[in-house]
A and B are shown apart, each in its own frame.
Chain A
Amino acid sequence: MTRATEAATAGAIALVIYIAAWIGVIPLPQTFYEQILPVLPWWSLVSFGAYSLGSIGYHLMTFEDCPGAYQELMGQIQEAKIELSAKGVPIS
């Protein structure tokens, strides 16, 4: 099953449950029916959007810059150039 099929299946199941609740096949308390059901799709959408932004933002903030790795590499490149030149490898 591809990820697309999985997503479509999950979406279809959610839709069926939602419609069933909407037309009253699933018995629900009146407040849920009146106040939660109409906004549920939007709420899901907004939640997902917020989660996405939060996740990307968090990972952006914690993205390491690794200056140490750069310093280390620079030193090693110098060392390598000296050693390689001594062995007769053309270094530019």
Chain B
Amino acid sequence: MSAHSVLHIDDTPMTDKYSVLLPTYNERENLPIIVYLLEKTFSQANIDWEIVIIDDASPDGTQDVARALINVYGEDKILLRPRSGKLGLGTAYIYGMQHATGNFIIIMDADFSHHPKFIPQFIRLQKQHDYDIVSGTRYRPGGGVYGWDFRRKLVSRGANFLASTMLRPNASDLTGSFRLYKKHVLARLMEVTVSKGYVFQMEMIVRARQLNFTVGEVPITFVDRLYGESKMGVSEIVQYAEGVWRLFVTV
């Protein structure tokens, strides 16, 4: 134990603060609206918040919109932390987390598939049980998805069955990325998680089980992206199956 630990008395803040990490790539249309809905949700529920926007040099002008939002909501609420190129989601979360000042971190997509209205439920459930993680789930009663055809549902259900059976984690939605974390828990998970892409979210929740973090779940309705494309082709499915196998033999 270092000398510093002795001086280190209590770093728990008096009140909780929630930092939302919003990675964006070409979300000029979606970003202002999701920020508007977040602000409304937080102020109605009287929750201390900030939004960290991690934009990877989107060519569509997402950052111009972000700056306009800073003018409206203030630079203590909207933190624009751009990066110079499209470096991927995994590192975007790490980068965003380094700039977050809250003791809780909320990860969500900027494309409305994750609705801010569920955040107060996440927070309530977390407080009730002191959970390390609260995960949104599309797969439990009360949850669901808008905008998926039969094929997409079948792939999703099959993929989730495969992973749940092989990995037996403490959560029902392995690839979902709408989650609330205690900050130190997220930092720990980021340290040990190596996967990229789709498998990243899955590895985080599987590692959470390995590291004995507690997980609560809130059913969420998921409206698949309205503008722009969401991809789920053969190469995604193969990448996913490889990921499940790798986690099966390593975690």
Chain A interface (Cβ < 8 Å from any Cβ of B): 2-4, 7, 52, 55-56, 59-60, 62-70, 73, 76-77, 80-81, 83-84, 87-92
Contacts and interface: CB of A to CB of B under 8 A. Distances in A.
Contacts of A83: 36
A54 to B, nearest CB: 11
Given A2-B251, A63-B144, A80-B33, A69 B72 contact: no
A81 to B, nearest CB: 7
Nearest to A67: B146
B161 A52 contact: yes
A90 B28 CA distance: 9
Given A3-B167, A59-B139, A66 B222 contact: yes
Q: Interface centre among B37, B221, B222, by most A CB within 10 Å?
A: B221
Contacts of A4: 248-249
Interface string B62-81: 00110011011000000000
Interface string B181-208: 0000000000000000000000000000
Nearest to A83: B36
A14 B139 CA distance: 32
Given A69-B223, A77-B112, 9 more contacts: A2-B249, A3-B168, A64-B221, A66-B222, A68-B221, A76-B33, A80-B37, A88-B68, A89-B65
A88 B144 contact: no
B33 A84 contact: yes
A55 B161 contact: yes
Q: Which secondary structure dominates chain B's binding surface?
A: helix
B158 interface: yes
A76 B37 contact: yes
B28 A69 contact: no
Going nearest first, the 9 A-B pairs with the smallest beta carbon separation are: A64-B144, A69-B221, A80-B36, A66-B221, A4-B249, A66-B146, A66-B144, A80-B33, A70-B146
A87 B249 contact: no
Contacts, number: 91
Contact of A64 (B32, B143, B168): B143
A4 to B, nearest CB: 4
A77 B157 contact: no
Contacts of B211: none
21 contacts: A2-B250, A2-B251, A55-B161, A56-B158, A60-B157, A63-B144, A63-B145, A65-B145, A65-B146, A66-B144, A66-B145, A66-B146, A66-B223, A73-B115, A80-B33, A80-B36, A88-B71, A89-B32, A89-B72, A90-B68, A91-B32
Contact of A69 (B115, B141, B165, B168): B115
A2 B245 CA distance: 11
Contacts of A76: 33, 37
Interface string B220-232: 0111000000000
Given A56-B161, A66-B144, A66-B223, A3 B32 contact: no
Contacts of A77: 33, 112
A58 B221 CA distance: 19
Given A59-B139, A89-B68, A84 B144 contact: no
B221 A56 contact: no
